[in-house]
Chains A and B, each alone.
Chain A
């Protein structure tokens, strides 16, 4: 394509900004655009596809990760804010070949339907259990209030978080995939 003249308002000077941070325990350095969202960077530049875009407005919970110990909506977060941070996504909550207690519990309670909301639900559940290892049903609902699940697995989420809490209290934080009940 040829540029006949610069169209009104056009700028092509959005310089890349280099951002260094830690993701799932690994140091990374990425070039991001000033207008890029953390969601886009995690997915498109770092291949962390578990982080989903469900609404782009912070209204569905599908895009949440844990950044600097806080559950945050990556669709509303500028990529430049990742600088110097530590980020945890679903890909990093358990060692290779293992499942975290929350994942195991969700499978044990047969909560899976389409699975699209699960990464967000798992991160929100982990965020809760990290702060509050023995939550009441009310506290579980408060913690997952922002995670929409249209397939309707909510009742199973409540059961699963209680079960995961039980596993963790028994010292079982990680499970072998082979332990999953088929």
Chain B
């Protein structure tokens, strides 16, 4: 049996929180927004051809695993990442690493997570949590979504680590092994911001970044005519769920990114970043307003308060704001 002295701290975004908490265990203090920003976690993509729960997928962040890998690399932290074909191997490796005294981050599917809030138990394979100890057949878990520490049985843990479907975790586990004494945040921050800015305004593809938001806005105008009020409302709900649900998602990520820019302005001693951070905060509030208006539409499906055109205009406004913000950020030095 082993139970490490791991401090559980809740977070807005599971992977950044997990990374920040694991580094905290290794005596390096870094906030969750800092990890999120350096790991270039912010993104936008609209994938109408990829259906999730019978509606198009909207994503407000990068692929799972990128944040941890990028952030640790930028910070000079050495880390290990494993995947296993065989569940037995992956579990014995997990025990072995815990025995050595390292808490381990895991990518899991949420459908079979017994301690998860029942309303979130859908097939979502991009969730992250930390295992900090084990006993005979029980594993001790710190999940940044949860307001308490939790436990899981061996069998259930195997099940969620080998969940199937899109982005199947296939037993992915990761943990930092060495944290340098002195870390210079400045170059890491600058590269992180450049990467995000490029993702948001530099990719010549219509479904991603600020362009992706415009594309979504354009298709949203056609939903009611094309799909009928019921389905249009469900599609809209799906966008909002991706924006608001598990791990604070969309609007939440904009807030986290704003907090990151705010913190970075102090570290880099560049005041103009403060301004941009404020713009980001306002932009995030606009997103939240959008989801608030949208959810009222979902409640009164037959006679919505706001037309889809109105909501689409709100999205266009967000797209313009983000375009402006990230164009400015591309010039960071």
Q: A and B bound?
A: no
Residues of B within 8 A of A (CB): none
Which residue numbers of A lie inside 8 Å of B, CB to CB? Answer: none
